[in-house]
Structure 1
């Protein structure tokens, strides 16, 4: 069983090996490490040792390292290596990772690097760079193995062996016709089980699940998750196979999209805020949301002010105000999280939306009844006023129903308007529910004020 990386010991050992006149020991030490672990070593090495570490690595290992790093670190390594050696590393790298990197460079830098690569590899990378970043084309690789349907199983296996090192994924062989259109797929398992002289046409699946090259990456992720694929083929508008999206790239997409949704739900905006973000940048990214919530908060305060006379007559109403507002915000945020997760994991048609709304009416009713009866009993025991206990109980019942529906309806409405539903952040739902709950609570109290005094 492989042991997890002991970073401190590994760093000390790598620094020791870097001081030796020859780097054979470093190569032997690192060859059993996973690319991620090598990248962790690089990130944590003292700056003075990084250049020597990079220049000491063999091409294959260096390509693996670069693909695990962030854009700025990748660029620093390429500039350190120089055009000649960098081009050799680029020929080894996965084309989709390289396309992402080159898209971040200036046109002059991109042309310089592409011009120094092998012609075929350069063309493959250029083909990938034409697609928008967050689409199937933007995350696919064009390194795959394809065959003709008139091949025998033996011929298909021979081609698979010949291109196994080149291809990013060898679990599927894609069957193309003379126009390079996708007409079938054969799995590695199918080849192993078939007779060696059988033709591909007889064992291939002709009903191929594919995605268009302009499909959003989140929908691609849902497709792979829905069918449990290791890879999914990508086709253009002429049904020609242009690439494949592999599950490792989809995992990256899921992590990125989940982080973006968490940031929006936290009202921190689309741009990421982490431990390294400086105070000014973090403040500017959060300020627009906070200003919006500030004005909504003033509206909430104006609701209380409009019922000042009621509050003056029955001071006990103030005791339950934070509880009712807080409970409504909590249930709204819970519903919001469930809806966001549901939208991300399944297709939301009219029937699904209707069932979800109807279910949440029931959820709000059950939660409201249980919590309303409980708070009504507590109010009666504490204040000894039956009408006041009924008002608090009924208010909590109504506001929990409203809060649950608000947490459900707002993200669904944004989803239907083609707006990212994660924008309906937790703080926004909470603030709106404060306004709803206080209006209901003080409205009922004002109607029945003569029975409370």
Structure 2
């Protein structure tokens, strides 16, 4: 099917969904969403108006609404839930899996989150608060509590009877393993479905389990999880507390998604999109305010660079050609610095470098910066010489770019480490610091060198 046909089919579905919402036809809504691929559901919901999204969930049962919320991004779901009264939102949130429930509520304002938690069942609310308390980037933040477990003394016959009795619940869990527990919920072993199928009915769970499984703690970093999954090819990892009690499961898909989300969040922060993820379906006022919070800070930083130019207006007036090369030097050095920032950010996220390794990073980056700076400086210097026929102009421009590139690469490599050591977010602050330094140094170098060589330039 062509992209045009796909687009027409999507537009038709969107029109039908909007019409069903307008008619308050819950049956048509359920049918349409049931016929839609999971990835397209988020796209359909995103294209609806804010009032339509809110009305959509209110037309569905809590179970149906929860299914919709599970198919959209959690920050999309949070924007919809915030428009509903807590007494309407709580039953929908209650139907979500434990990890999805915690992710969704963390995206809400404290007031809305507190109101919904108070409307949940006490046990469910307590579990959700505990899951919400785990820091981002840890196993606790992405684990879920919906797992199948059996006591070590249960026989295979008793286990199979329990599975049949609760099959509708267990199907929702996506069972790959069952877990064998001892006294007070301590994890003793893992029970693969295959072992269960081929065991004798009278055998106990403790006889057919895989004992002493690899476990993780709730505080285990997501990067470490990915390494374990790579080494052992597991589908899931049990999470235990200090008493070795099973408190949750982390699957491989969730671990990979968490790493991807962290990388995306860092990129958004680096581009100045602070706070929650931005979507074009959000209110215009909200989107504008979020972007302005960064751009207004950038004005102040740019004034610093502009002040350097103001100090050398006489040189600029005498050699107008320098104005052509100011943005080139600033931009080329900034690009080189951003490359160094990206490498440091990646190595920090993968724990391949420590914030204390300033010397090592400086030596690595300064050597690359010097080589690239000289190459770029020779190129831009030759262009300036050929353009104006002035070798001194070429030398000034080339030297300024070479030196500024070296500075930018060193700053780009070291600033993320410094911010990390100061317990600040390197993704958010590295960009503006690098931009200010490269602009200020670039302008100062080219205008300063030009002022010293002014007799040979005019």
Q: Which of 178, 192, 201 is the equivalent residue of 1:173?
A: 178
Contact 1:99/1:125 (8 A) holds in 2 = no
Q: Which of 145, 149, 153 is the equivalent residue of 2:148?
A: 145
Task: Give, in whole Å, the separation in 2 of the partners of 1:51 and 1:277.
Answer: 13
Task: Give, in whole Å, the separation in 2 of the partners of 1:414 and 1:53.
Answer: 44
1:383 to 2:384 alignment = no
Task: Give, in whole Å, the separation in 2 of the partners of 1:108 and 1:187.
Answer: 40
Task: Give, in whole Å, the separation in 1 of the partners of 2:447 and 2:156.
Answer: 77
Say what the alpha-carbon RMSD is for the aligned residues.
Answer: 4.5
State the TM-score, normalized to the length of structure 1: 0.75
Where in structure 2 are the equivalents of 1:9-408 lying within 5 Å?
9-10=12-13, 31=34, 33-34=36-37, 37=40, 61-68=64-71, 70-74=77-81, 87=91, 92-99=95-102, 105=112, 110-114=117-121, 123-133=123-133, 135=135, 136-148=139-151, 165-167=168-170, 168-188=173-193, 200=206, 204=210, 206=212, 208-212=214-218, 214=219, 219-220=221-222, 222-228=223-229, 229-247=234-252, 249-250=254-255, 253-254=258-259, 256-278=261-283, 280-349=285-354, 356-408=361-413
SS of residue matched to 1:424: helix
1:76, distance to aligned residue in structure 2 (A): 6.4
Aligned partner of 1:424 in structure 2 is: 429
Contact 1:377/1:389 (8 A) holds in 2 = yes
Aligned partner of 1:117 in structure 2 is: none
1:397, distance to aligned residue in structure 2 (A): 1.5
Per-residue deviation, residues 354-409 of structure 1 (Å, max 9, x unmatched): 65543322321231122122122223323333333233222222111111111111
Give the gaps of 5 or more residues in structure 2.
Answer: none
Aligned partner of 1:410 in structure 2 is: 415
1:257, distance to aligned residue in structure 2 (A): 3.6
1:191, distance to aligned residue in structure 2 (A): 6.0
Task: Give, in whole Å, the separation in 2 of the partners of 1:394 and 1:173.
Answer: 67
1:145, distance to aligned residue in structure 2 (A): 1.9
1:158, distance to aligned residue in structure 2 (A): 6.5
Task: Give, in whole Å, the separation in 2 of the partners of 1:106 and 1:313.
Answer: 63
Contact 1:153/1:200 (8 A) holds in 2 = no
Contact 1:321/1:438 (8 A) holds in 2 = yes
In the alignment of these two chains, the number of paired residues is: 436
Contact 2:215/2:237 (8 A) holds in 1 = yes
Evaluate the alpha carbon distance shift between residue 396 and residue 206 of structure 1 in structure 2; reply closer, same or farther with a 3 A threshold: same
Task: Give, in whole Å, the separation in 1 of the partners of 2:338 and 2:174.
Answer: 41
Evaluate the alpha carbon distance shift between residue 162 and residue 208 of structure 1 in structure 2; reply closer, same or farther with a 3 A threshold: farther
